[in-house]
Amino acid sequence: MRVFVCLLALLTTLLSGCERPFMDSVQRGYRGTGMLQVYNPRIVEAKLDNNTAPVPLPAAPADGPKASLVFKNVKVLGDLSVAQFTRIMASMVTWVAPNEGCTYCHDAANFADDSKYTKVVARRMLEMTRTVNSQWKTHVAGTGITCYTCHRGNAIPQQVWYRSNPQPYGSNFMGDKAGQNSPDPAVNLSSLPNDPFTPFLLDAQDIRVNGPTPLPSGNRHSIKQAEWTYGLMTHLSQSLGVNCTYCHNSRSFQGWEGNPPQRAVAWYGIRMARALNNDYLEPLADTFPAHRKGELGDVAKANCATCHQGAYKPLNGTPMAADYPELVGPLVETVAAK
């Protein structure tokens, strides 16, 4: 009996690192190229609820007076009809503040009032949404986004990032830790730098780590730089729930030849996130109150997980822009009613 118990314990130990149930795999390239995607059905199923889009409200007619001529202080979406505008506002309640309702952004006694910071931010986010849907089709194609893509019924999107302090406990004998060995979910709890977003999704540092010239002449690419890149790639992989070979041909990770189209889509996605962080989110630093900022005083910013949340396409590819064409640009400057 003792031998059986020991064998059972040993077997349990050996299997503790295995996943359950058996994995599913999808061949995405020619056999022998390593272009294989491996999925755990249990994990995929667990993500379904969070990546199911809500049923859209019935479409509203475009005829009738414009919202900017009926309501006061309408600076965005004023080009819509009153019916379309009301539909978007009602949808935003369920997308962003289902518990708080309209008063999350509006003063119930005066909807035109701009004293709440949430209203100022929401207005800017509507502009951002229209920009994504109209100017970043290289990444979102015709699928598009709505507020729900990021918020999922939460006032604050669950997947955002702030600048991190690379040395929260000061210096040590190792010098600049560069955020390493401080496990963070952003890099799948690895020892990689835990803020790969500041250099690549805010700044425009070089992601490619293959040096263009032989060492040492003019080649500043290093293993240390590569670790930041690996941190970003790890984030991409877990944000989309895919292997590295979803975008790369394992024959040559640096080369573009033989890569699937997803790599180009991801290339544009990185630049889209960078543009949104710099053009829309960072400029709101003076609008957000202190309790909504990170430890270094910066505002929440977007990365790949903000939209994807574990799905290779946000909301598993639900065509949000088709259901809400009002959130596709162009932006129209309007004059508010007096």
Residue at 199 is within a domain: yes
Helix/strand number for the chain, H first, E second: 12, 2
By residue range, what is the domain housing residue 134? Answer: 2-327
pLDDT of residue 332: 46
**C-alpha distance from residue 224 to each of 141, 201, 220, 231 (Å):** 35, 18, 10, 11
Contacts of 143 (CB under 8 A, 6+ apart): 313, 314, 317, 318, 319, 320, 321
pLDDT of residue 20: 63
Q: Is 248 annotated as a binding residue?
A: yes
Q: Is 151 annotated as a binding residue?
A: yes
pLDDT of residue 183: 77
264/139 Cα distance (integer angstroms): 8
pTM: 0.85
Q: Is 18 annotated as a binding residue?
A: no
Residue at 24 is within a domain: yes
CATH number of the structural domain spanning residue 298: 1.10.468.10
Give the number of domains in the chain. 1
Q: Is 150 annotated as a binding residue?
A: yes
Residue at 154 is within a domain: yes
Q: Is 6 annotated as a binding residue?
A: no
Residue at 212 is within a domain: yes
Residue at 332 is within a domain: no
H or E segment to which residue 34 belongs: none
Residue at 335 is within a domain: no
Q: Is 147 annotated as a binding residue?
A: yes
Tokens, residue 61: 């007619």
pLDDT of residue 112: 94
Which among 221, 220, 230 has a CA at the least distance from the CA of 253?
Answer: 230
pLDDT of residue 335: 39
pLDDT of residue 255: 84
Q: Is 233 annotated as a binding residue?
A: yes
Which among 326, 271, 335 has a CA at the least distance from the CA of 146?
Answer: 326
Residue at 338 is within a domain: no
**Helix, strand, coil content of the chain in percent (nearest 5):** 45, 5, 50
Q: Is 221 annotated as a binding residue?
A: no
Going from the first residue of the chain to its last (338 residues), give the mean pLDDT of each consecutive group of 10, the final group possibly shorter.
69 59 72 72 76 92 94 94 96 95 95 95 96 96 95 94 73 64 80 90 89 66 84 93 87 83 95 97 96 94 95 92 89 42
pLDDT of residue 60: 94
